[in-house]
């Protein structure tokens, strides 16, 4: 049986983790390498890095960091932020990323998805979609939620599937940071509209929210940042909670 995935997300800027993070057991909680390993040991199913300020000048820093993380990380590793071309992805994969997440660049030039799927395979192409309800319709936003586009969530999701995306990472802008639960109804509809795995993001604040996003929202994975960083939810306790509510999850077991 396939299990539901729990995915911590690290926001990284200039090689350091941003958003305040407090882990007593870590020497340097701002070091993405140490934090990534910590989550892997806790039983995280994947790790996502978003380089929120990735620009061409910062590429070298980003690659060096991706490589340091990948050398030590034995779970799947997705990197996003500022990816615009096949060349960008080739460099990240060479540094050790397993998948990449593309967002605005795919909206500006949708052919990028086809090119990446053809060159590297769908399995490494995650299309991130940020959306918010506007006049009763789920509108897709670019540029980190700053720029409204003419795209509609479900129509764009079907298009990225057709173009060869391997997963959709859906963030509800209105839920993000609220810790009041995921956009469960939109996710449930998304699960009916596409046959790609969907990663839910935005709003996870309590174990019940994760249960809802899997049981009702039909998500395949749930991504969160600060609730893990601030230890408001520990991954082992979250998995135990989900397990007792009959959600299939992976347990780290000693060999």
Q: Which residues sit at the interface with other proteins, rule CB under 8 A?
A: 1-5, 40, 45, 70-72, 74-77, 93-96, 98, 118, 120-124, 166-167, 195-197, 220-221, 250-253, 255
Task: State the catalytic residue, choosing from 11, 51, 88, 212.
Answer: 11
Nearer to other proteins, 65 or 139 (CB): 65
Task: State the catalytic residue, choosing from 45, 51, 88, 130.
Answer: 130
Non-local (6+) Cβ contacts of 156 within 8 A are 107, 129, 140
Nearer to other proteins, 45 or 51 (CB): 45
Residue 2 in tokens: 């396939």
Q: How far is the CB of 91 from other proteins (least distance, A)?
A: 11
CB hemisphere CA count around 223 (13 angstroms):
22
Q: How far is the CB of 121 from other proteins (least distance, A)?
A: 3
Nearest to 121 by CA among 75, 158, 166, 86: 166
Looking at the DSSP assignment, which residues form a beta bridge with residue 13?
16
Nearer to other proteins, 95 or 187 (CB): 95
Please give the span between the terminal C-alpha atoms of the chain, in angstroms, as a whole number: 20
Q: How far is the CB of 63 from other proteins (least distance, A)?
A: 11
To the nearest 10°, the Cα dihedral for 25, 28, 33, 35? 40
- 11 catalytic? Reply is yes
- 130 catalytic? Reply is yes
Q: How far is the CB of 33 from other proteins (least distance, A)?
A: 13
Looking at the DSSP assignment, which residues form a beta bridge with residue 224?
8
Nearer to other proteins, 22 or 255 (CB): 255
- Angle, to 10 degrees, between the axis of helix 207-215 and the axis of helix 235-244? 50
- Active-site amino acid positions: 11, 130
């Amino acid at each position: 049986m396939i299990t539901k995935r729990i995915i911590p997300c690290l926001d990284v800027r200039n090689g350091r983790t941003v958003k305040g993070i407090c882990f007593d057991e870590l020497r340097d909680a701002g070091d993405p390498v140490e934090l990534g390993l910590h989550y892997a040991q806790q039983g995280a199913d994947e790790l996502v890095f978003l380089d929120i300020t990735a620009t061409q000048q910062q590429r070298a820093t980003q690659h060096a960091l991706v490589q340091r993380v990948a050398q030590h990380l034995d779970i799947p590793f997705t990197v996003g932020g500022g990816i615009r071309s096949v060349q960008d992805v080739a460099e990240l994969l060479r540094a050790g990323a397993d998948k990449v997440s593309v967002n605005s660049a795919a909206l500006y030039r949708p052919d990028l998805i086809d090119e990446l799927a053809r060159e590297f395979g769908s399995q490494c192409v995650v299309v991130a979609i940020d959306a918010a309800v506007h006049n009763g319709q789920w509108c897709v936003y670019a540029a980190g939620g700053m720029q409204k586009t003419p795209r509609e969530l479900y129509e764009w999701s079907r298009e990225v599937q057709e173009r060869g995306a391997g997963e959709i990472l859906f963030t509800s802008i209105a839920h993000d940071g609220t810790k009041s639960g995921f956009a469960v109804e939109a996710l449930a509809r998304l699960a009916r509209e596409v046959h790609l795995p969907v990663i839910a993001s935005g709003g996870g604040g309590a174990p019940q929210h994760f249960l809802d996003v899997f049981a009702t929202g039909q998500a395949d994975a749930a991504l969160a940042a600060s609730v893990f960083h601030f230890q408001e939810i520990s991954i082992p306790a979250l998995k135990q909670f989900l397990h007792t509510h009959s959600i299939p999850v992976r347990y780290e077991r000693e060999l």
